[in-house]
Structure formats: structure tokens, C-alpha cells
């Protein structure tokens, strides 16, 4: 067995270690989501925690880890009689990103159930994790339906598997830990709220601390057993402290004064629902037990807020995480009560959790436009302030609810909410022979396939003989996520500040729509003499929003270069993810002035998209009393359609519901 890196040897990361320990003391806190850049000891700390958990008593031979003192009466391996049992170390079970639903919840053998009347159930990862840790690395990359199943089991403490009238239930109480890199995409707010605590981790910028990280890691890699032995005393002390805190937890008193502070804090930060209040109460109670106290103090409430509220106050995926600590202290001071400690008590950076919390978010990227490149000469025949100088970045207008743009045909890409697709989940549209393991039985089609063969199988009376060849898989249709590639004109023809603000607001609205529909997004911009990939295709729409905000404008309009760059991005992405269909959203007024024969070259580039059946839409940004209609002509060359900025709004009277026209070479 591999020797884990000692938990107490992790350098820094006080908030992360505290959040994990609080969940070890009180699993009712609801788990922890660890957000941070790669290489910040997220996985190391989680794996190290499992070695600290006390051993668990189990019923011998039970695949569901029933407690011999109070066995689960509905255990599929039961019934068990209460009594003595053996002990084993607490498990840490890892859920891989590519896991199937059957791997997570378990597999019920429908073939044996129908043919032999046997209810054969193979436990999944939820059963393995019972009374231990379930660790989900890159939780933001899991399919939504798996995350829903995971969090439902964590909330109910049980897993249910129901297929064709056959059901199995087993206990599934575990410490849920998820890690994610925000650059690879965000979790939906509804799913963020289901994690009890969240912490933001980042690599230290202190040279001495970084040196110590490297020193300890090298020593561990050279001789893991010897390194772990040097930390054995500290590990034993923390393990004993966890056991003591668990015993003390039922005696901790959460007074009315602390409850008022919790309620006032949640109201002050305008969090939705009551889950935040409950999680804060449980966290504050666990903090008191961890400190060896039987009464919750104001310092516990403050630390609980810093761990439980940052991810719940986000209103959209572009809000920066964090909590205004000055506002928090003012709220606690206002509602401080006698016997609850001082409202402004701060455990300090050297206490457990290191003072917690992240700094208040700044004004966001691109506020000052960043450093601008050298200006291009020439401006589509339009004058520019200060000669040919480019303009700095313009802030985006307020986003709005955008119309739904979808790819035609039926795909088979990743689960999402945009375009029609053949999926494992959705409405049943027909039946087919199963390819591999049967997952969703189409009962009527199975009976229909078996019925003509009953006499040959010796069946003359009631009943039905079903064989493997008769089984039919349900064909289902749902929605998929697409690759939405934004191609944005940032040239001088679009550089009027008011108009560019509206354009950015429109793209930001489409980005919000892409976030809600679980798309990947990419951003290509063109201006001056070339086009740039501002953001390669990614699941992180907030990264796209940040690049958009800092986008400078000015110069000529190399439309052909922008289209060719987008075509190349799609070609490469198709090799990486051939099942994910693309939707190109070209934001331009249709002008083309960069390079030789700009109009002709732009037309030829656009026809490449039409020839390959790539779905596209042109957002026409032309304004003014005289309009040339160039964007509409460009949409015709692309084989797509054009919408104006006004028509892009879902509530626009002028805008009718428009889906992208054209065909996709991968559409059915």
C-alpha cells in the first residue's frame, strides 16, 4: 500500500486543512469544495485526511459497510443481527471524471431479473464510500446527471437504484470532497450550494514557504515511509483530537445569540434559501468542538461564514468569489449578544484556519484596458480620435436574456441544454438492440420481440420466455452542449465606444446563455492586420468574459483572417472532441478592409463554413440611419442567418424565434 503524504506535513493551506477537519468532526456539515489552480496540494491534502480518520467497525462480509452496533435494516446484503464485528480503516473512494452512472450508483442486472427472477445488484462507488470519504477530482467536469445523483445521495444519506420496477436502496453516508480548477469551467450555482463549505487555494508567493514545500516533497519522494515516520507523532495528535471533538460535539451549545448572528449574516449577504443558515450553524458547532469548547462563540460564527458563504453569494458565473470581511465584522458586531463572545473577535492568521476567507473581489479584469498595442493606420474611411490611435478597452453593457441559438439536426455530444441529441437521459423516442451492456430497457419493444417465438420456445400458456436476443434498449433524445465559438470584430469600424459597449454586452449575454446550457466556448478576435485566438475552446466561460472585458479596439477589419482563424480552431477541436458539434457566432457589421481584395477573400473564407455544414449565425452590429446590409450578405455566404442586436434579446418584440439555419455534416 502506498504511504500517503502526512496531513500535518502540508505547508500552509490553513483554510483547506480546517475545512477538511471540520467535516471529519461533523460530516453533517455537508462536505467541502476546493477551488484553485493546479499544483496547490488539493488532492494531496484530501488523500492525507483519509489516513487520519478513525477505523470503522463493520459487519463481516457486508459489501455496504453496515455498522454492527446498528445495522441497516434495508441493507441488500442483510438482514444483519446487531453484535460485534471487525474493524477496518476508513476508505477514500475516488470518482473518476469518466465514470458511468452504473459505476457510481451500482448496476442492477435486468437480464437476470427478467429471465430468472433474480435481483442481482453489484454495488457502486457510493456503497464503497459509505462511512468514509468520496473524493471527486475535477468535479466541474462531471456530467450534470452524475453530480445530481452524487449530491442527492450525500443529502439523503442513501442511494436508490430503480429500473423497470426493480429497486434497491442502501445507506450512503460519506464525507464529500470535490476539487476543481475554475479555469476549466464553473459548477452551476444550484450545485455549488449543495457543498457545505468551499475554500479557495493558491500557491504561496512567499519564497521561504515555497522552499519548504519543495524540501518536504523531495524528502517524501526519496523515502515515503521514513518521511511519514517523522510526522507520526503529529498525525497521532490530530487523530486523537478528531476523536475527542466527535465525542464533544453533541454537548456543544448553540445559543440564541449565535443563531441571531448567523441569521443576520446570511441576510446581510443576501444568500438564497435557508441551507446557508443551517450549514453555518453546523460549522460553528464543529468549530467549537474542534477548539474543545461546549459553547459557540462569535469567532466560530465568523469563521463559519468565511467557509460557508463565499460560493453562495455569487449571482452569476462572472462574479468573483469571496466575502467582504469588513461587512461581516460590522454585522457580527451589530448582533453581538451577551455570552456569545466579542463580535469583532478574530482568530488571527496563526489560529486554525489562518483567519480564513479570501480578499474582497476587485473591480474585475480589464478595468483600465491593460496595455495597448501600437495603433494601426487607416480606419475603414471613418475618422478616429487622436489620428489613427486605437481605443482602450470598453466596459460591457449589462447582459440580457438572449435568444436560444441551436445547431440543427441530432448530435451525440456531451450532455447539455442546447441542441437535440441522442442521450442516455431524456424522452424515449424508440428502441434498438443494445450495444454492450443493457442500461435502459424498452419493455414494450422487448415483449414485442419475444412474442412471436413463444411456441418455438415451448410456451403455450400464460407467461413469456425472454432470451437475451429479445432485449431492446430504449433510444432516448435529450439535449447536448455545443462548442460555441465567438468570432468578434474589434476593428475601428466597430470602435465607437457606445456601440462596442453594446456589442460586448451582447456577447456577455450569449456567454451567460452558454454557461447555463453547459457549452464549451472559444473566442477569436480580429483587428488591425491579423486575427488572434483570445481564448482556446474551454468550459470556463468566466475566462472568456474576462478576455472580452479587456479587449482593445481599433485598426482595419481583417474579416477573412478572422474567419480563417476560426476555421482552424474548429478543425483542431474536431480532432480532440469529434462528437461535440460547433456553432459559430460571428459578431460584426460586415465590413472588410484588411489585406488585399478583402471582400473577395472574406467571401471565400465564409464559403468554407457553408461547404462543411458548420452551423453559424451573424450578429449584425451595423447602426445608423443608412445601413449597407453587409452582415446579411455575409450570413448568406456562411450558409447561416443574421440577427441584429435588438433581435438577439429573447424578449424583443421585433425578434421572432430564430434557430440557426443550415446543416451540419455530423447531423443525422
Residue-wise pLDDT tens digits, 175-190: 889 888 877 777 777 6
Q: Once rounded to an integer, what is the mean pLDDT over residues 524-549?
A: 86
Residue 318 has a pLDDT of 66
- Domain 252-334 class in CATH: mainly alpha
The residues spanned by each domain of the chain are: 7-54+90-216, 252-334, 370-407+482-668, 422-479
Confidence band, pLDDT 50/70/90 cuts, at residue 352:
very low
**Which pLDDT band, with edges at 50, 70 and 90, does 551 fall under?**
confident
Among 116-120, 255-259, 375-379, 394-398, the range scoring the smallest mean pLDDT is: 375-379
504-521 pLDDT, tens digit per residue, is: 888 888 888 888 888 889
Residues 6+ apart with CB under 8 A from 111: 438, 468, 471
Percent over 70 (pLDDT), the chain: 84
pLDDT value, residue 610? 94
| Predicted pLDDT of residue 219 | 93
Which pLDDT score, from 0 to 100, does residue 657 have? Answer: 39
* pTM for the structure as a whole: 0.68
The predicted pLDDT at position 264 comes to 94
CB 101 within 8 A of CB 193: no
Residue 605 confidence (pLDDT): 94
614: cell is 458548420
pLDDT of residue 461: 73
Lowest pLDDT segment from 74-83, 354-363, 433-442? 354-363
DSSP letter for 368, please: T
Residue of 290, 85, 314 lying closest to 193 (CA atoms): 314
Distance, CA of 229 to CA of 33 (rounded, Å): 30
Mean pLDDT of 24-35: 90
Q: Do domains 7-54+90-216 and 370-407+482-668 have the same CATH topology?
A: yes
Q: What pLDDT was estimated at residue 414?
A: 80
| Long-range contact pairs involving 465-468 (C-beta distance under 8 Å, separation at least 24) | 466/114, 466/115, 467/115, 468/111, 468/115
Cα separation, 27 vs 196, whole angstroms: 10
Distances in whole angstroms, Cα of residue 302 to Cα of each of 270, 328, 333, 358, 573: 16, 7, 11, 13, 46
CA nearest to 592, candidates 583, 611, 605: 605
Choose among 106, 101, 95: nearest CA to 149.
101
Phi first, then psi, for residue 291 (nearest 5°) are: -85, -5
Cell numbers linked to 470: 429479445
85-98 mean pLDDT? 85
Percent of the chain with pLDDT over 90: 30
Q: CA dist 476 to 421, 422, 531, Å?
A: 9, 6, 41
Q: Sorting pLDDT into bands at 50, 70 and 90, what band is 115? A: low
pLDDT at 368 over 70: no
Confidence of residue 286 (pLDDT cuts 50, 70, 90): very high
Task: Note the CATH architecture for domain 7-54+90-216.
Answer: 3-Layer(aba) Sandwich (3.40)
Band of pLDDT at residue 357, cut at 50, 70 and 90: very low
Per-residue pLDDT band at 427 (split at 50, 70, 90): confident
Mean pLDDT in residue range 385-401:
64
Cis peptide before 373 (omega within 30 of 0): no
- Cβ count within 10 A of residue 169: 15
Q: Specify the pLDDT at position 317.
A: 64
User: What does the alpha-carbon distance between residue 401 and residue 305 come to, in Å, rounded to a whole number?
Assistant: 32
- Which pLDDT belongs to residue 376? 39
How far apart are the C-alpha atoms of 479 and 456, rounded to whole Å? Answer: 42
Q: Which of 174, 29, 22 is nearest to 95 (CA)?
A: 174
Which backbone phi and psi does 266 adopt, to 5 degrees?
-65, -40
Higher pLDDT, 240 or 55: 240
Q: What is the pLDDT of residues 118-145, one digit of tens each?
A: 667 788 899 999 988 999 888 887 877 7
Q: How confident is the model at residue 307 (pLDDT cuts 50, 70, 90)?
A: very high
Higher-confidence residue of 193 and 8: namely: 8
> How far lies 180's CA from each of 41, 47, 149, 459, in Å?
12, 15, 18, 57
**What is the residue-wise DSSP string for 539-606?**
S-HHHHHHHHHT--B-S---HHHHHHHHHHHHHHHHHH-TTS-EEEEEEE-S---SSSSHHHHHHHHH
Report helix, strand or coil for 660.
coil
Closest CA to 565 of 586, 543, 546: 586
d(C-alpha 453, C-alpha 640), whole Å: 51
Task: Give the chain's mean pLDDT.
Answer: 81
What does the alpha-carbon distance between residue 570 and residue 610 come to, in Å, rounded to a whole number? 14
Question: Per mean pLDDT, which of 354-363, 421-430, 520-529 is the most reliable?
Answer: 520-529
Q: Are 443 and 164 in contact (CB under 8 A)?
A: yes
Helices (runs of H) and strands (runs of E) counted in the chain: 20, 20
Catalytic positions, please?
275
Separation of alpha carbons 236 and 8, rounded Å: 10
Dmax over Cα atoms in the chain, in whole Å? 94
Asked if the model's pLDDT at residue 340 lies above 50, the reply is: no
- Please report the pLDDT score of residue 431 as a whole number: 87
CA distances (Å), 500 to each of 225, 392, 490, 592, in order?
61, 11, 8, 17
How far is C-alpha 16 from the chain's CA centre? 19
Task: Give the integer Cα–Cα distance in Å for 164 and 167.
Answer: 8
Arithmetic mean of pLDDT, 619-638: 85
Q: What is the CATH number of domain 370-407+482-668?
A: 3.40.50.410
3-state secondary structure 156-183: HCEEEEEECCEEEEEECCCEEEEEECHH
Tell me, what's the pLDDT at 612? 94
pLDDT band at 486 (very low <50, low <70, confident <90, very high): very high
The pLDDT value recorded for residue 514 is: 86
Q: Using an 8 Å Cβ cutoff, are 32 and 196 in contact? A: yes
pLDDT at residue 210 is higher than 70: yes
Most confident of 170-174, 292-296, 309-313, 627-631: 292-296
Mean pLDDT of 384-401: 62
Q: Which residues pair with 524 in a beta bridge?
A: 487, 533
3-state secondary structure of 23: helix
Amino acid at each position: 500500500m502506498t504511504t500517503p503524504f502526512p496531513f500535518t506535513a502540508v505547508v500552509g493551506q490553513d483554510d483547506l486543512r480546517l475545512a477538511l477537519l471540520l467535516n471529519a468532526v461533523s460530516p453533517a456539515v455537508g462536505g467541502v469544495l476546493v477551488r484553485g489552480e493546479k499544483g496547490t496540494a488539493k488532492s494531496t491534502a484530501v488523500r492525507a485526511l483519509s489516513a487520519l480518520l478513525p477505523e470503522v467497525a463493520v459487519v463481516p462480509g457486508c459489501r455496504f459497510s453496515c455498522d454492527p452496533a446498528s445495522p441497516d435494516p434495508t441493507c441488500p446484503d442483510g438482514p444483519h443481527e446487531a453484535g460485534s464485528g471487525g474493524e477496518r480503516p476508513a476508505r477514500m473512494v475516488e470518482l473518476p471524471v469518466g465514470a458511468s452512472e452504473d459505476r457510481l450508483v451500482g448496476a442492477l442486472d435486468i437480464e437476470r431479473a427478467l429471465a430468472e427472477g433474480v435481483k442481482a445488484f453489484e454495488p457502486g462507488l457510493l456503497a464503497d464510500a459509505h462511512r468514509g470519504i468520496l473524493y471527486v477530482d475535477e468535479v466541474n467536469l462531471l456530467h450534470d446527471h452524475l453530480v445530481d445523483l452524487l449530491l442527492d445521495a450525500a443529502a439523503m444519506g442513501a442511494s436508490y437504484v430503480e429500473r423497470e420496477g426493480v429497486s434497491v436502496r442502501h445507506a450512503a453516508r460519506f464525507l464529500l470532497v470535490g476539487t476543481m480548477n475554475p479555469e476549466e469551467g464553473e459548477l452551476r450555482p444550484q450545485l455549488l450550494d449543495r457543498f457545505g463549505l468551499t475554500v479557495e487555494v493558491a500557491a504561496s508567493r512567499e519564497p521561504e514557504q515555497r522552499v519548504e514545500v519543495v524540501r518536504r516533497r523531495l524528502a517524501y519522494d526519496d523515502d515515503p515511509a521514513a518521511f511519514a515516520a517523522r510526522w507520526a507523532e503529529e498525525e497521532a495528535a490530530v487523530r486523537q483530537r478528531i476523536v475527542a471533538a466527535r465525542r464533544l460535539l453533541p454537548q456543544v451549545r448553540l445559543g440564541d445569540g449565535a443563531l441571531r448572528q448567523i441569521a443576520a449574516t446570511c441576510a446581510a449577504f443576501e444568500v438564497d434559501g435557508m441551507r446557508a443558515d443551517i450549514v453555518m450553524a453546523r460549522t460553528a458547532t464543529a468549530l467549537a468542538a474542534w477548539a474543545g469548547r461546549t459553547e459557540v462563540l462569535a469567532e466560530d460564527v465568523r469563521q463559519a461564514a468565511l467557509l460557508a458563504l463565499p460560493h453562495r453569494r455569487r449571482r452569476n458565473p462572472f462574479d468573483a468569489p469571496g466575502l467582504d470581511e469588513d461587512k461581516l465584522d460590522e454585522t457580527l458586531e451589530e448582533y453581538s449578544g451577551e455570552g456569545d463572545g466579542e463580535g469583532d473577535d478574530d482568530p488571527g492568521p496563526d489560529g486554525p484556519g489562518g483567519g480564513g476567507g479570501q480578499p474582497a473581489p476587485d473591480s474585475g479584469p480589464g478595468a483600465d484596458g491593460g496595455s495597448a498595442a501600437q495603433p494601426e493606420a487607416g480606419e475603414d474611411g471613418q475618422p478616429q480620435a487622436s489620428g489613427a490611435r486605437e481605443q482602450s478597452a470598453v466596459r460591457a453593457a449589462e447582459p440580457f436574456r438572449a435568444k436560444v441559438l441551436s445547431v440543427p439536426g441530432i448530435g451525440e455530444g456531451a450532455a447539455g441544454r442546447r441542441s437535440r441529441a441522442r442521450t442516455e437521459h431524456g424522452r424515449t423516442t424508440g428502441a434498438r438492440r443494445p450495444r454492450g451492456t443493457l442500461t435502459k430497457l424498452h419493455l414494450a419493444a422487448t415483449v414485442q420481440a419475444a412474442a412471436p417465438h413463444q411456441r418455438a420456445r415451448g410456451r403455450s400458456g400464460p407467461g413469456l420466455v425472454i432470451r437475451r436476443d429479445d432485449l431492446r434498449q430504449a433510444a432516448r433524445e435529450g439535449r447536448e452542449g455545443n462548442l460555441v465559438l465567438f468570432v468578434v470584430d474589434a476593428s475601428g469600424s466597430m470602435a465607437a465606444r457606445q456601440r462596442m459597449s453594446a456589442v460586448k454586452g451582447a456577447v456577455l449575454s450569449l456567454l451567460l446563455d452558454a454557461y447555463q446550457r453547459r457549452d464549451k466556448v472559444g473566442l477569436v478576435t480580429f483587428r488591425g492586420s491579423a486575427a488572434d485566438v483570445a481564448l482556446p475552446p474551454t468550459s470556463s466561460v468566466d475566462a472568456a468574459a474576462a478576455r472580452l472585458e479587456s479587449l482593445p479596439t481599433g485598426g482595419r477589419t481583417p474579416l477573412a483572417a478572422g474567419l480563417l482563424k476560426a476555421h482552424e480552431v474548429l478543425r483542431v477541436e474536431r480532432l480532440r472532441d469529434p462528437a461535440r458539434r460547433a456553432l459559430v457566432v460571428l459578431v460584426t457589421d460586415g465590413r472588410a478592409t484588411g489585406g488585399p481584395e478583402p471582400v473577395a477573400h472574406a467571401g471565400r473564407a465564409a464559403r468554407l463554413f457553408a461547404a462543411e455544414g458548420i452551423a453559424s449565425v451573424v450578429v449584425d452590429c451595423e447602426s445608423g440611419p443608412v445601413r449597407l446590409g453587409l452582415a446579411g450578405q455575409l450570413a448568406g455566404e456562411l450558409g447561416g442567418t443574421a440577427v441584429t442586436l435588438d433581435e438577439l434579446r429573447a424578449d424583443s418584440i421585433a425578434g421572432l424565434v430564430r434557430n440557426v439555419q443550415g446543416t451540419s455534416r455530423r447531423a443525422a
